Every structure is written in structure tokens, then in C-alpha cells.
Amino acid sequence: MIQLQGTEQLVVKILKALDLPAKDANGFSDPYVKIYLLPDRKKKYQTKVHRKTLNPVFNETFQFGVPLNELHSRKLHFSVYDFDRFSRHDLIGQVVVDNLLDFSEGSGDKPVWRDIVEGTAFTAPADPYVKASLICDGRRLKKRKTSIKKNTLNPTYNEALVFDIPNENIESVSIIIAVMDYDCIGHNEVIGMCRVGSDADGPGREHWTAMLANPRKPIEHWHQLVENLFLFSQEVIVQLQLRKLLNEDAHQQQSATPGLQQQREREEEDRAQMCRGMTEKEE
């Protein structure tokens, strides 16, 4: 329900949702709604989480301060999420309501129903930033973040995220790059991810190999963002640079060690020590 009070207050009441898709193994979802006013996204609200239901009843009211003469250029964006305590929240779907000036002419008591567009069939402007995580043997050792770019779907960063890695272990690590949407009131959402490294697939491995073959030279590559194994149209360009040559003497010495099994055991122990030594405290 949407209502204009006076000339400065847009009142929005989220009533309920019907027949939401099940996102959890128990056949239900734990839905909640985020709402903000486009295009500036300066003020955001979030409903309470409703447990184990596909037909949540919210009955929560929110107010946005907006002049009447600006309503023609404003839109309301609703995002429905499934709450998860131990992992990132799943996006159930989105709704955009425009023509807000029309609601100033009615009583505002009549509910406004909209179909939820599942997934990311369309995307409102976001506040994106990039988080890069250094991975070794499935463990996150270090992470770096860019600045946040406000209200855009085409951010430009030009920021260097630097990891210090021992030369002999450069092929034992990989980097997961996650593009995130910053949220000042709730959970930051994952827009998409990609992986680069010797153990990555396709372009991720090719990019890493090109970097190793060209020390000190920046190597750029576009990577398609992936979330939950479903590909999206968004892409991110990544530049990798190896700033120090690999220690060839160390590789030659290692290859000269007698006994293949002993060599493998030593490599595993060195990798474990490297992982322990490089681990940082979580922020």
C-alpha cells in the first residue's frame, strides 16, 4: 500500500507476499523485504524475517521524505530475500514500482499488487565494491577490498589490491574475486564471483598462467561473474601482475631431491607451513 501524506512524506506499507518459492531444504523460506527509493538509494528499510513460510504477512510501514515535485522521477525498489544464518542470503525476487505521482491522486488505502520477478532478471543501481580473497587449500588466508562506488551498475575502480606471497608458493594459491553490493542497514549481497588460479577453470586458469609467464607485466582479462553455478550477464575486468620473478634455483634444488614420495611429502608440508604463516585474523 502506497500513500502520499502532505507534500513531503511517501508512506509505504508492505502487507504480505503469496506463493514464494522455497529456498530451504525443508520446503520453506525465511523471507524478508528490503525497500529503497531510486535513484539515490540514500535511505533503505528492511522488514522483519518471517520463519518457515511461503506466504509471509509483514504489515510494516515505512516513510520516505520526498517532495511532491520529485515523485515523477522516483521509483520504489523491493527486494525479497531468504534469510540464512550461516551463509549469504538468497535473492528470491525483485519488484520496481514507478509512476509514484499517481498515488497522490487516490486515497492510498487500496493495496498495490505486483508480480515478483525472480532472481536478477533486472537489477536496480547498486553500491558495488570488490572483495578479493587469497585461498590456499580451501582456506581464506587474506582479503582485500576496494572502495564503494555509489549508485551505479558500471563502477570504475583503478585500485590495486596487493598480496605478499612467497615465490615458491605462487602456484599453490588462487584468488576469489567477489563483486558485492554494500548495504548500510543489513547484509551485503553478492552480485557475482570469479576465481583465478592454477586450479581454476577456463579463463581463470588461462589468466593466471599468462601472469606467471609475464612477470612484472600487468595482464588484464574479462571474467564472467558466477553465483550458485548460474551465469549472469555481468562481467568484471581483472588485472594481474607478478612483481617478482620465481626463484628458479629453489625449483631446481627441489627437483634434484631424490625420492618422488619424499618430495611430495615435503611439498605438502611446505604448503601447510605457508598457509599457517600467511593466515590473517578475520576483520
Q: Is residue 94 part of a domain?
A: yes
The amino acid present at 122, given as its one-letter code, is: F
Q: Which of 92, 118, 144 is the last residue of a domain?
A: 118
Same domain for 245 and 133: yes
More confident residue, 116 or 261: 116
Count of domains forming the chain: 2
Comparing C-alpha atoms, which of 104, 92, 106 is closest to residue 33?
92
Q: Which domain holds residue 95?
A: 2-118
- Residue range 222-229: average pLDDT? 70
The reported pLDDT for the residue numbered 230 is 36
Q: Is the pTM of this model over 0.85?
A: no
Mean pLDDT of 205-213: 92
Let me know if residue 218 belongs to a domain.
yes
What distance lies between CA 257 and its chain's CA centroid? 45
pLDDT digits (tens, 9 = 90+) for 8-37: 788 899 999 999 999 888 999 999 999 988
Q: Span 222-237, mean pLDDT?
A: 61
Task: Spell out the residues 6+ positions from residue 58 whose beta carbon is closer than 8 angstroms to its own.
Answer: 14, 15, 16, 17, 33, 47, 48, 50
User: Is residue 280 scored above 80 in pLDDT?
Assistant: no
**Predicted confidence (pLDDT) at residue 248 exceeds the cutoff of 70:** no
123 in any annotated domain: no
The predicted model gives 31-46 an average pLDDT of: 85
Whether the bond between 56 and the residue before it is cis, its omega within 30 degrees of 0, is no
